[in-house]
Each structure stands twice: as structure tokens, then as C-alpha cells.
A and B are shown apart, each in its own frame.
Chain A
Amino acid sequence: MNQTSTWDAERALSRIRELAHLPGPLLPILHALHEEFGYIHQEAVPLLADELNISKAEVHGVISFYHDFRNAPAGRHVLRICRAEACQSMGCEALVSHVENHLGVKMGETTADRSFTLESVYCLGLCALSPSAMLDGKPYGRVSHQVADFLIDSARRHS
């Protein structure tokens, strides 16, 4: 399960200031904010612009460029399924359809009960054990439809 706290501008500011001394600090800061809150809150944009002395447009440009940074909170669990070539060769698209049906949402969406967010990922480096997936940061290889069902159901039972 993802442990994140609700948005708090003061807390965000202190995380920003902890890392602002780094050369090229924006990505490490965005990662820290993402880890803390689970997404990048809109209010973080002017804070970052002020603290780093860059324009809001520049901050927004960076956040929107990278696939990792969400602009809204994810579900309690994030299931990322690899859809790159190695996993394609082992049927990842059928796995994606199966999981979408199981959860009743499409890739990139969050279930209505906010228990799960489904995301596509392009390579987890587990290509000899395709199809692969990552659930809340934990890697899984040889993910059959049954394994996917098991992972989803047991994660739901525990939250």
C-alpha cells in the first residue's frame, strides 16, 4: 500500500528547502514531493518557481514532461503492467485486458473505490521473466492471469 500524506504547503516547502542546494535540484525535489504526497499538487508549482527562481511555466513544463509525476492522487495500490516488446511476446496485452476487466477500469484509471490505479510501464528490466508487473514498488515476473487476480485480491483484502 502507498503511504502518502495529504497536501501540506508548509511540509512541501520544507522538503523543497532540504534539497534546493543540489546542483539541478528540480527532479530530486519533485521525486521527494511525489513520495510524500503521492502526486504533485498544483500549489507546488508557484512554490517551486519561487524557491528555485525559475518561472512557473518552466516548473509546469518539467512536471508535465515526465510520465512519473501524477497531478492527482493515485489509488491505495498502484499496479503497473509492462507493455514493452519482451512482455508483448509473452501475452501482456491479454493480461492488460484481463486486469482491466477484473478491476472494471482502463489502464491509466483509478477504480471508483480508490483501491487501485492501473498504469502502463515500458520495461521493468524483468524481460527474461515476462510478462512482468510492479505492485506498489514490488516486482513480479511470469504474471499469469491467475497471479494477477491473486495479487489484486490479496492487496484489496489487506487495505
Chain B
Amino acid sequence: MSVKIFVPCDAAAISVGADVVAHAIQEQITARRLDLKVVRNGSRGMFWLEPLVEVETLRGRVAYGPVSVDAVAGLFDAGFSDGKDHPLRLGLTEEIPYLKNQERLTFARCGIIDPLSLADYVSHGGYKGLERALGMAPEAIVEEVTQSGLRGRGGAGFPTGIKWRTVLNTPGDQKYVVCNADEGDSGTYADRMIMEGDPFVLIEGMTIAAFAVGATGGYIYIRSEYPHAFRTMKRAIALAYENGYLGANVAGSGKRFDLDVRLGAGAYICGEETSMLESLEGKRGQIRPKPPLPAIEGLFAKPTAINNVISLATVPIIMEKGGAFYRDFGMGRSRGTLTIQLAGNIKHGGLVEKAFGLTLRQAIYDFGGGTFTGRPLRAVQVGGPLGAYFPESLLDTPLDYEALAAQKGLLGHGGIVVFDDTVDMAKQARFAMEFCALESCGKCTPCRIGSTRGVEVIDKIIAHQNRPANLQLLDELCELMVDGSLCALGGLTPFPVLSAVRHFPEDFDKPAPVLPAHVGERAQETQQWR
């Protein structure tokens, strides 16, 4: 059997040249008549090392990276296909500290297998969770997931088992499982990585969810900014059908589960679950007031279990190893592992799956290696565009749902965006409002109008117009948005805004910059409104 050389097909790896590197390696193999096979795997999530090429050896997989096209011929000359030395050699992949110090449960296979090989998936423990679930009553599956302590990884942190129980207990001729893969938060990419690197784990998780709640239909709603993930999921679903893992008789159980992928269309709000349901039904992605909960009246008015990609992709290992195994990781009420995504101005950006409880500082420095630019860190945004900005002094906060909430922040989907000391926090606060105005669905006034007024008020603060009064006005506006908005977009946009004001007041107290004419005019107009 020929030796395997792994070159990731993950979109981030491709973004720094993995496709051309794979091509160059194939050319060398042909020219040198070597008995080697190029396998396109997912990413290990160490993006500063991408394209990370791995070679299978008797001692394990040896990593080389970051590999450029120019380096390929030299790698072959040095004998890298036998794992031999080269300046780019990183040693055994599993021994790289960044990876070795993680606890990879959900991402156990990501970067290791060929994402579209069902044989690889099964030989690496795939479908063991489903196998066990098929021998259990729906109530028992729900109980196992409840016992695991798994909470929604999309951001809300609602216990997955309790959500499933509601769907299970709601009678319905048709029920659905919907996977929210509208990963719109900046600084997050865990959903994309798992869909591109281990798509069958999501299919398996959704199948288990369907059997637990009594659903026969499912959809994965993927954002259009993720064309690679969309294509991989589509192919994986087709393969699962061909091999009897989806359809009328899942794995010979006599049970039906049909699954399809749908593409979003560039609306951030569609990551909100009710807006996503509207979008799936072919409507404007405007949010629905709750109640009714989607668990009772969801897609096409049927009981629907909606879960994030990572929540669902974690279900197979919980079912395989038991709820207690998973619950043993973590701290307090945050059980299991968190998939931390290090992003922005960071030296070693990537995916860190670790039991809950790591502090921000450990994540950013021990794993991330500090800022990319080498300048001092000034601010960190945790949890996407609706997450709070933290100063250096709060970096000892643990990454845990409750600990972050206590600091008036949120964990969200686990994304951490690092900024160095060149950041202007007044600008970041303005952007938060601007983004909300751009992406508001328009259903409720606090979000639709409040965000636009918010941009204007911050412009006035920046322009040094009546600062104390406008800062107070901003505070009141934020309070109104938090209390009065129908969903998290309007309700959480004040988090980054107020945290910027609270932790970085000096940025709201600078001399007025020379503004472009139109900004000044708009500030003038809104003066009357005040």
C-alpha cells in the first residue's frame, strides 16, 4: 500500500495555497515515480502552519509546515516522504504542543481522516454513537444527552437535552431537526472546520438527534460565505444515502431520516434560530416572536429541534462514551469541552478544543503566543460582534458561560479576536452599532432604529459634541435596546458598545478628529433630535 501524504482541503488552508501545494506534490510524485498517495484531509487547526503537510511514517504522522510551492522539490530531495529532516519539519504532528495540550473530543477526527471517506470515518470510531443510540429508547437518548451537561454551542448555552425533551414531548405528525450552520460571528470558524474536515460526525449527530426527538426530516442551513463547507456537506450527505446511513432505513434500523443542506444568502440575522426558520421556508429572514418556541412550533409550524453544528457534532461521542464521560470535563455549570477559536491579531491563530475553564490569558498567550504584530495587546473581543471587549486586566477570566456573564460579556460561539494597541475603541463601538444597523431584520424598533441612532450618537461623541450628555444618551439607548429588542442582535449589540466605553474611556475622550464633511453634517442634523 502506498504511503499517504496529507494536504488539507480546508478553506483556510486553501486560502494560503494548499491546493497549489497539493498539485506540486502530485507532480513530484509522478516525475519521481514514487509510490505515494496524496490525501486531502481537514485542517488540524494550526493555521499559522498552513499549508501543513503530513507524511505517514511507522512512528506516526510527521508534519512539515508552512509549506510553500517553492519548498516542495526541496522536501522531496530531503526525503520528507520518509519523514526525514528538513528546515520545515515540525516533528510528529501529535507531539506539537499546541495540539498535544488539547482535549479533542468533538474534533477527534478533524484533520486526521479524509473527510469524504466513509470507510475512514467508520474505522476511526464513526457511527459507534448511532449504533448505541439505536438500541435505546428516545427518552433514554435524551436523558444521556441531558446527563452529559451539553449546552448549545451556538452562543445561547441552553441545555441541549432539555430542548430535545420539549420536542420529544410535543406531539406532531412530522418533526424536524435543523442544524444552524450560519456561523456569522467574526472570529469563529469551528463549524466551518468540522463541516469541511469531518462532515459525517455532523450527519451522525443529526441522525441521533432525529431519533431522540422523533423527527424524520432535517436541514443544515449553511451560510453562503462557506462554499467549501456547503460542497463537502452535500457530497457527504450523498455518500451517506448511498451507504444506507440516511433515507428510509438508516443503518438497517427500519427508521427514516432524510437530510438536506440549504444555503443562506448573506444575512447575519439568519443565525438567529427563528429568522433561520423563516429563511428555510423561503421568506425574508425576519425573526419570529417567542413563544411559541421552535421546539413546539418550528419549521413549517412543526416541532423542531434547532442546534448549532458543534452541539450536534458532539452528540456522537457523548452517545459512544456516555454522558458521564463528557460531563467529567469542564468546570461549574459549563461541562465538556469548548472549541476556542483564536483569531485576529494573534501569532498562533487556530482551533483549541479544551475543557471549559481555561482563562483568556492562557488561551491567548500559552496557545496563541500573543499578538501577530508583536505589539502590546490592548483589547480582546470574545463571542463575536455581539460580544464584549475586554481589556488586558480582565484576561484572567475563565472561558466559561457564567464567568464571562459575570464580567458583562458572553462566550458566544467561542471566538476570541485579539487587537493590539493601535485599535481605536470608539471606532469599534461605532462599528458594532453600524453592523447592527446593516444586519437588523427590521422587525423591532429598538434594533432597527436604535442602531442607526447609536451610530449617530457615537459620531457626535467622537466629534466632541457635548460629550457627557451624549455618553449618557448612549447609555440610555443601550438600555432600551437590551430591554426592548426581540432578539439577540438588538439585545446584545450594546455589549461591545458599553464594554468599550467602560473599559477604554480614554478613547472616548480624545480631541475631535477632522471628520469628512458628511459625518459632521449628520451629527448636526441629529443635534435637533436630542
A69 on the B face (CB < 8 A): yes
Question: Which B residues from 186 to 229 make CB contacts under 8 A with A?
Answer: 186-189, 191-192, 224-228
A108 on the B face (CB < 8 A): no
- Among candidates A122, A125, A140, A142, residue contacting B192 with C-beta atoms closer than 8 Å: A125
Asked if residues A25 and B189 are in contact (CB atoms below 8 Å), the reply is no
Please measure, in the bound complex, the distance between the C-alpha atom of A66 and the C-alpha atom of B14, giving whole angstroms: 27
Which chain B positions have C-beta within 8 A of A62? 282-284
Which chain B positions have C-beta within 8 A of A27? 262-265, 279-280, 282
Residue of B nearest to A133 (CB): B15
- Among candidates A23, A30, A58, A61, residue contacting B265 with C-beta atoms closer than 8 Å: A30
Asked if residues A125 and B225 are in contact (CB atoms below 8 Å), the reply is yes
What 1/0 mask marks residues of chain B from 223 to 242 whose CB sits below 8 Å from any chain A CB?
01111100000000000000
Which chain A positions have C-beta within 8 A of B186? 84-87, 122-123, 127
Given known contacts A129-B47, A141-B15, is B265 in contact with A89 (CB within 8 Å)?
Answer: no
Residue of B nearest to A121 (CB): B225
B431 on the A face (CB < 8 A): yes
Which chain A positions have C-beta within 8 A of B189? 125-128
Please measure, in the bound complex, the distance between the C-alpha atom of A85 and the C-alpha atom of B189, giving whole angstroms: 14
Q: How many residue pairs between the two chains, A and B, have CB atoms under 8 Å in the bound complex? A: 157
Which chain A positions have C-beta within 8 A of B372? 90
Please measure, in the bound complex, the distance between the C-alpha atom of A122 and the C-alpha atom of B264, giving whole angstroms: 14
Which chain A positions have C-beta within 8 A of B185? 123
Residue of B nearest to A67 (CB): B266
Please measure, in the bound complex, the distance between the C-alpha atom of A78 and the C-alpha atom of B183, giving whole angstroms: 22
A104 on the B face (CB < 8 A): no
Which chain B positions have C-beta within 8 A of A128? 12, 47-48, 189, 341-343, 346, 349-350
Asked if residues B12 and A125 are in contact (CB atoms below 8 Å), the reply is yes
Asked if residues A141 and B265 are in contact (CB atoms below 8 Å), the reply is no
Which chain A positions have C-beta within 8 A of B266? 66-68, 121
Asked if residues A85 and B428 are in contact (CB atoms below 8 Å), the reply is yes
Which chain B positions have C-beta within 8 A of A138? 14
Which chain B positions have C-beta within 8 A of A127? 186-189, 341, 343-344, 349, 415, 417
B345 on the A face (CB < 8 A): yes
| Most chain B CB atoms below 10 A, which of A62, A85, A122 | A85
Which chain A positions have C-beta within 8 A of B419? 88-89
A31 on the B face (CB < 8 A): yes
- Using a Cβ–Cβ cut-off of 8 Å, how many residues does chain B contribute to the interface with A? 61
Question: Which B residues from 355 to 388 make CB contacts under 8 A with A?
Answer: 372, 381, 385
CB distance from A57 to the nearest CB of B (A): 11
Which chain A positions have C-beta within 8 A of B76? none
Question: Which A residues from 112 to 137 make CB contacts under 8 A with B?
Answer: 121-130, 132, 134, 137
- Among candidates A65, A87, A125, residue contacting B267 with C-beta atoms closer than 8 Å: A65
B285 on the A face (CB < 8 A): yes
- Using a Cβ–Cβ cut-off of 8 Å, how many residues does chain A contribute to the interface with B? 42
Please measure, in the bound complex, the distance between the C-alpha atom of A30 and the C-alpha atom of B226, giving whole angstroms: 17
Asked if residues A85 and B267 are in contact (CB atoms below 8 Å), the reply is no
Please measure, in the bound complex, the distance between the C-alpha atom of A52 and the C-alpha atom of B283, giving whole angstroms: 12
Asked if residues A66 and B418 are in contact (CB atoms below 8 Å), the reply is no
CB distance from A87 to the nearest CB of B (A): 7
Please measure, in the bound complex, the distance between the C-alpha atom of A158 and the C-alpha atom of B228, giving whole angstroms: 24
Please measure, in the bound complex, the distance between the C-alpha atom of A24 and the C-alpha atom of B227, giving whole angstroms: 21
Asked if residues B15 and A25 are in contact (CB atoms below 8 Å), the reply is no
Given known contacts A23-B300, A28-B263, A127-B186, is B225 in contact with A89 (CB within 8 Å)?
Answer: no
Asked if residues B224 and A125 are in contact (CB atoms below 8 Å), the reply is no
B420 on the A face (CB < 8 A): yes
Asked if residues A68 and B224 are in contact (CB atoms below 8 Å), the reply is yes
Given known contacts A85-B381, A86-B417, A129-B47, is B225 in contact with A26 (CB within 8 Å)?
Answer: no
Asked if residues B344 and A90 are in contact (CB atoms below 8 Å), the reply is yes
CB distance from B52 to the nearest CB of A (A): 13
- Among candidates A65, A89, A129, residue contacting B16 with C-beta atoms closer than 8 Å: A129
Residue of B nearest to A124 (CB): B225
CB distance from B163 to the nearest CB of A (A): 22
Asked if residues B265 and A85 are in contact (CB atoms below 8 Å), the reply is no
Please measure, in the bound complex, the distance between the C-alpha atom of A140 and the C-alpha atom of B125, giving whole angstroms: 33
Which chain A positions have C-beta within 8 A of B415? 86, 127
Which chain B positions have C-beta within 8 A of A130? 343-345
B281 on the A face (CB < 8 A): yes
Asked if residues B282 and A126 are in contact (CB atoms below 8 Å), the reply is no
Please measure, in the bound complex, the distance between the C-alpha atom of A88 and the C-alpha atom of B183, giving whole angstroms: 18
Question: Which B residues from 475 to 521 make CB contacts under 8 A with A?
Answer: none
Asked if residues A125 and B188 are in contact (CB atoms below 8 Å), the reply is yes
Please measure, in the bound complex, the distance between the C-alpha atom of A58 and the C-alpha atom of B417, giving whole angstroms: 38
Which chain A positions have C-beta within 8 A of B341? 127-128
Asked if residues B14 and A123 are in contact (CB atoms below 8 Å), the reply is no
B184 on the A face (CB < 8 A): yes
Residue of B nearest to A54 (CB): B282
B329 on the A face (CB < 8 A): no
B38 on the A face (CB < 8 A): no
Residue of B nearest to A52 (CB): B282
Which chain B positions have C-beta within 8 A of A87? 186, 344
CB distance from B256 to the nearest CB of A (A): 16
Please measure, in the bound complex, the distance between the C-alpha atom of A130 and the C-alpha atom of B345, giving whole angstroms: 8
Which chain B positions have C-beta within 8 A of A30? 265
CB distance from B13 to the nearest CB of A (A): 9
Given known contacts A24-B281, A141-B15, is B417 in contact with A122 (CB within 8 Å)?
Answer: no
- Extra contacts besides A62-B283, A126-B12, A128-B341 (5): CB < 8 Å: A24-B281, A52-B282, A122-B268, A128-B350, A139-B12
A-B contact pairs, 13 of them (CB 8 A): A27-B264, A62-B283, A69-B265, A86-B415, A122-B184, A122-B385, A123-B186, A125-B189, A127-B187, A129-B12, A129-B47, A139-B11, A139-B12
Q: Hey, which bits of chain B sit against chain A, CB under 8 A?
A: 11-12, 14-16, 47-48, 50, 183-189, 191-192, 224-228, 262-268, 279-286, 300, 341-346, 349-350, 372, 381, 385, 415, 417-420, 423, 428, 431, 435, 438-439, 441
Q: Which 6 A-B pairs have the closest CB atoms?
A: A128-B349, A26-B282, A84-B186, A127-B343, A66-B265, A141-B15
